[in-house]
Chains A and B, each alone.
Chain A
Amino acid sequence: MDLSFRDEDIAFQAEVREFLEKNLPADVKDRYDRGLHPKKEAAVRWQKILNDKGWIAPNWPVEYGGTGWTATQKYIFAQELGRASAPPPIPFGVSMVGPVIYTFGNQEQKDQYLPRILNSEDWWCQGYSEPGSGSDLASLQTKAVRDGDDYVVNGQKIWTSHAQHADLIFCLVRTDSSGKKQEGISFLLIDMKTPGITLKPIIGLDKEHTLNEVFFDDVRVPVKNRIGDENKGWTYAKFLLGNERTSIARIAQSKRHIERLRDIVKQERLNGGYLEDDRDFMRKVNQIEVDLMALEYTELRMLSSIDAGKKLTAEPSLLKIKGTEIQQRLTELLVESLGMYGAPYEALKKYEGSNEMPVGPDYAHGPMAEHLYLKAASIYGGSNEIQRNIISKMVLGL
């Protein structure tokens, strides 16, 4: 056991830090620091900078464009992104479908999609949930019926984040209804411009348009767009969800949020002094900092045991549960720290292109939007209750 960084790691840390200082666009940094979603143009601009450096997909195997970093280097990189308020890449391409394609896809699919993911030329969205299939994902009903070299897809997906910007959707569809529900699912890659696809926006609690309904009406998808075998899609879907669980904890970003909170309590006035003098409030801040440390070292311990060749089953579900609980608690505390200025709230577009700023101190602009949006964190990626079911079954054998 050894917690120290080697000299190479310290040099690497300095290299990452310097790169971010020089190359992270100020507008991207500001939005992310406030907890606001990046706009598509800004996200793509930033992701291309990362890709030019070769750092867009540290978790990919080197042969497909990964960095070949050690677990320690990956940890340092994530920490430095968080510290600099640099957003990690939008997950749907790099973290979700990319690994499915290089693990289960054929050569043609790898050649076609992977470079475009790395260079942010394709914007992906995720077609998993349906109106009748949330936690019971395998009950999904969107049908794909074989017709010559195509599948004909009919059905509906819902809660599809950023679908309005997407070029492609990776979709779970039902190709067989005769046996167990998990055994009749296939994994398709579908061009969003295909005739028969329509979108309907869903305005979220944060008054923003992130979520969508996606309708498929006789949508023809070439069979060659199927990943792996027909009816084996559930295996690929679970693989993707397993990857998602580890990346969803966002520990480095939560660390940065604690720093923000500690900045705010030095500025928010209270009884002639500052909020930092309020022991009740500060106790909550201290508690969340300890909770985050416990999660951080748990993630490191898991990374270390993966490096040592141990196979984890559902342990990463812990990271998802605790990571999202902390994110939610932190944004709750950020809002709480604002006092009365926690109440003013308007959709972002009101201020876009205008010189008028929202009321209240500058730091009050952001926390509520993120607090509202992150209510989803304990629901998406498999709800935290489903994660507990998974640990109960896979780890505890109950």
Chain B
Amino acid sequence: MDFELSEEQNLLKDSVDRFVKENYSSEARIKLSETDLGFSRDHWKQMAELGWLGMPFSEEVGGFGGSAVDTMVMMESIGRGLVLEPFLATVILGGGLVAAAGNEKQIEAIVPEVIEGNMMLAFGYAEVQSRFNLNDVETSATKSGEGYVLNGHKAVVYHGGCADKIVISARTSGNSRDADGISLFIVDKDASGLEIRSYRTVDGQQAADITMSNVTVGADALLGTEGDASPVIEKVVDTAIGALCAEAVGAMTAANEITNEYIKERKQFGVAIGKFQVLQHRMVDMYMEAEQSKSMADMVAMKLDLGYEVDTKKAVSATKAQIGKAAKFVGQQSVQLHGGMGMTDEYSIGHYFKRLSTIEMLFGNTDYHLNRFSNLS
């Protein structure tokens, strides 16, 4: 049992930290987030050149065969800087699904392009009625000749607006919440009948609602076996949750450091407010939440590297529940301890609060994961 990073992982961490330091000052991030695209293609290219976009893919599909721990290391640094580039949507979710379910031809057509930074992906799974249930799929895919016709509505698809291809979950058989009968399709962004309504999200990122009206796709758009996508989706989403939790740890650590510095500097009643015991104890509680979250994020990354059993799923949900609780507490108290300064959108701390709040909700909020934790056994 060992929680220490290897030498290579320390180098990877240093490299992502350097990227964040050079590109993600608070002002630069705010400016970038307000552009039409919402992130930087130059950054994306740089991330490809540094090999980060190929990190989680196995060597057989042209990646670097990185582990979940490697992803965790990157995501923690990404979280510290509130990085905007769609690494999670393109590499972990979209790329992860293609690599896990795709046939040789699909993998060859997509994964190298993702690794090179030439193609962006997104994953449309949630629907208006589904909340966080991955199997609650009403989008339909009806067999038509060799291919399929897709109809339905996918909600809040993170980075759906910039994606070249979108992986869509759709029902090919069964009733609306059945695990059986869900299939995955790769759909081009300019497919006829596909409408992408892109918008900004509260955390400074972008998402899209996607409607499909008789979108026709060929048989080669089907990813994996028809009707059998549910376990693949669950596994890839659990992997993404592991990565997202590491991002949360980075964001909480940074928010705590910023707040800790602030209360050392800010003077009221003639002393630094960090001298007041009530604020010291609050800060200690924030520190303890972040530390325990870090332990859970490390644990879940290591578990994901050991396999994917019921115990792994339980660990994922436990981690998401811990991190959801911690992310809300740290985010909200960071604003509180900054007083009025916490309320301005010009200052960094509120942006941590907003990202941490959405992380609590993404892929299932704390309530959802406490429930899943208890139902899995």
Contact = CB atoms under 8 A, between A and B. Distances in A.
A387 B181 CA distance: 54
A322 B370 CA distance: 19
A83 interface: no
Residue of A300, A304, A318, A396 with highest tally of chain B CB at under 10 A: A396
B318 A396 contact: no
A301 B298 contact: yes
A398 B283 contact: yes
B318 A398 contact: no
A308 B4 CA distance: 8
Interface residues of A, number: 40
Contacts of B315: 293
A4 interface: yes
B263 A398 contact: yes
A297 B321 CA distance: 15
Contacts of B284: 388, 391-392, 396
A295 interface: yes
B292 A322 contact: yes
A398 B280 contact: yes
A305 B322 contact: no
B277 interface: yes
Interface stretch (A220-228, A280-288, A365-373): A280-288
A385 B302 CA distance: 34
Nearest to A304: B3
Contact of A293 (B287, B318, B371): B318
A294 B302 contact: no
B171 interface: no
Nearest to B276: A398
Contact of A304 (B1, B274, B301, B322): B1
Contact of B370 (A283, A391, A395): A283
Given A293-B322, A298-B291, A388 B69 contact: no
B3 A298 contact: no
A291 to B, nearest CB: 8
Given A321-B288, A391-B284, A392-B283, A297 B295 contact: yes
B5 interface: yes
B287 A286 contact: no
Given A1-B298, A396-B283, A286 B374 contact: yes
Interface in A51-79: 71-72, 75
A8 interface: no
Contacts of B280: 388-389, 392, 396, 398
B3 A398 contact: no
Interface in B63-77: 69
B288 A301 contact: no
B18 interface: no
Contacts of B303: 3
Given A300-B1, A322-B288, 14 more contacts: A1-B6, A1-B301, A2-B302, A9-B1, A286-B371, A289-B318, A290-B370, A300-B3, A304-B4, A318-B292, A388-B285, A389-B280, A392-B284, A396-B287
Interface of B: 1-6, 9, 69, 260, 263-264, 274-275, 277, 279-281, 283-285, 287-288, 291-296, 298-299, 301-303, 305-306, 315, 318, 321-322, 370-371, 373-374
Interface of A: 1-5, 9, 71-72, 75, 282-283, 286-287, 289-291, 293-295, 297-298, 300-301, 304-305, 307-308, 315, 318, 321-322, 385, 388-389, 391-392, 395-398
